[in-house]
């Protein structure tokens, strides 16, 4: 199914997110995960993968791409399933804002504190929260290995003030404490191939990976074309025409060399 169902549209409007079960087939997950695992673990040995630490000293590995090419990452970002869902929910012509792999290694992957993605993106020059992300789980994601957590419905709060703490950008404590009291705290446990689609103002976080298993996920973020940043604050996020490709096109592509 290319487009969100009525139930998914309603969940996105009311809850700020929904999970599309089996977004990628088992064969697609295996192809994407195993090829990227080989490449990115090798890159991490050479220092070509970012490390984002938490206040406990653990680190999550990140790989961010500035544009979507013809490798596996770029083709999945341009996959018609990703694009049509995002277009329908944003309700405007869209482009790819960024895409990245987030890698929580066994017993190493760090925590992310409560934040809104728009808490970052507003400061990058995006005036309006006409933005969303699709997180595709490549491994089982559960409480033990640091699955995503959300405050259900918290996107209605609009953009909250964020502060820089311990190398992360987090919601200011008094506002967070009030939000935690008012909104349901949900652990979004997922199976490989499931996709979490969520609004840019949804409060979310994740714990450290305290298990012996991997917790990798691929995240694509989309923006309305007319909401492209008005200033050059980052190397990514600026408008590039989005060339959609048929579902599963990445299966026939190589992983990027860099």
- pLDDT for 37 beyond 60: yes
Residues 108, 170 contacting (CB under 8 angstroms): no
* Cα 21 from Cα 23, distance rounded (Å): 6
Q: What is the pLDDT of residue 63?
A: 94
Residues 65, 218 contacting (CB under 8 angstroms): no
pLDDT band at 131 (very low <50, low <70, confident <90, very high): very high
pLDDT per position as a tens digit, 61-93:
999 998 999 999 999 999 999 999 999 999 999
Helix (H) or strand (E) holding 110: none
Q: What is the pLDDT of residue 166?
A: 78
- pLDDT for 257 beyond 60: no
- pLDDT for 252 beyond 90: no
Helix (H) or strand (E) holding 178: helix 173-182
CA angle 24, 25, 28 (to 5 degrees): 80
- Structure token digits, residue 36: 């990227």
pLDDT band at 162 (very low <50, low <70, confident <90, very high): very high
* Cα 196 from Cα 190, distance rounded (Å): 8
CATH of 6-227, picked from 2.60.120.620, 2.30.30.240, 1.10.10.10, 1.10.4160.10, is 2.60.120.620
pLDDT per position as a tens digit, 14-36:
999 999 999 999 999 999 999 99
Range 178-196 average pLDDT: 98
**Lowest-confidence segment of 67-71, 220-224, 243-247, 252-256 by average pLDDT:** 252-256
pTM above 0.85, yes or no: yes
**Cα-based distances in Å from 203 to 112, 126, 183:** 11, 18, 10
More confident residue, 45 or 194: 194
- Structure token digits, residue 16: 């700020």
- pLDDT for 170 beyond 80: yes
**Cα-based distances in Å from 50 to 21, 69, 157:** 29, 20, 31
DSSP of 74-112: HHHHTBHHHHHHHHHHH-S-EEEEEEEEEEE-TTT---E
Helices then strands, each counted (H, E), the chain: 6, 13
Q: Where are the domains of the chain?
A: 6-227
Residues 239, 97 contacting (CB under 8 angstroms): no
Q: What is the pLDDT of residue 145?
A: 96
- pLDDT for 258 beyond 60: no
DSSP of 40-70: HHHHHHTT-SEEEE-TTS-EEEEEEESS--S
């Amino acid at each position: 199914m290319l487009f969100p169902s009525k139930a998914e549209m309603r969940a996105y409007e009311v809850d700020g997110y929904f999970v599309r079960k089996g977004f990628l087939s088992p064969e697609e997950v295996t192809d994407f995960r195993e090829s990227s695992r080989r490449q990115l673990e090798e890159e991490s040995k050479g220092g070509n993968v970012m490390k984002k630490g938490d206040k406990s000293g653990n680190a999550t590995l990140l790989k961010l791409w500035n544009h979507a090419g013809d490798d596996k990452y770029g083709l999945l970002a341009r996959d018609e399933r990703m694009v049509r869902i995002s277009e329908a929910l944003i309700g405007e012509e869209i482009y790819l804002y960024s895409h990245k792999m987030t890698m929580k290694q066994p017993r190493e992957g760090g925590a992310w504190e409560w934040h809104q993605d728009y808490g970052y993106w507003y400061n990058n020059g995006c005036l309006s929260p006409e933005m969303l992300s699709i997180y595709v789980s490549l491994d089982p994601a559960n409480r033990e290995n640091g699955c995503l957590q959300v405050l259900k419905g918290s996107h209605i709060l609009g953009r909250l003030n964020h502060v820089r703490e311990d190398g992360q950008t987090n919601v200011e404590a008094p506002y967070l404490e009030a939000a935690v009291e008012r909104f349901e705290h949900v652990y979004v446990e997922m199976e490989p191939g499931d996709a979490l689609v969520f609004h840019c103002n949804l409060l979310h976080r994740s714990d450290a990976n305290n298990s012996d298993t991997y917790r990798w996920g691929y995240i694509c973020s989309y923006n309305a074309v007319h909401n492209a940043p008005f200033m050059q604050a980052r190397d990514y996020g600026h408008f590039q025409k989005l060339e959609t490709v048929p579902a599963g096109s990445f299966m026939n592509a190589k992983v990027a060399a860099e």
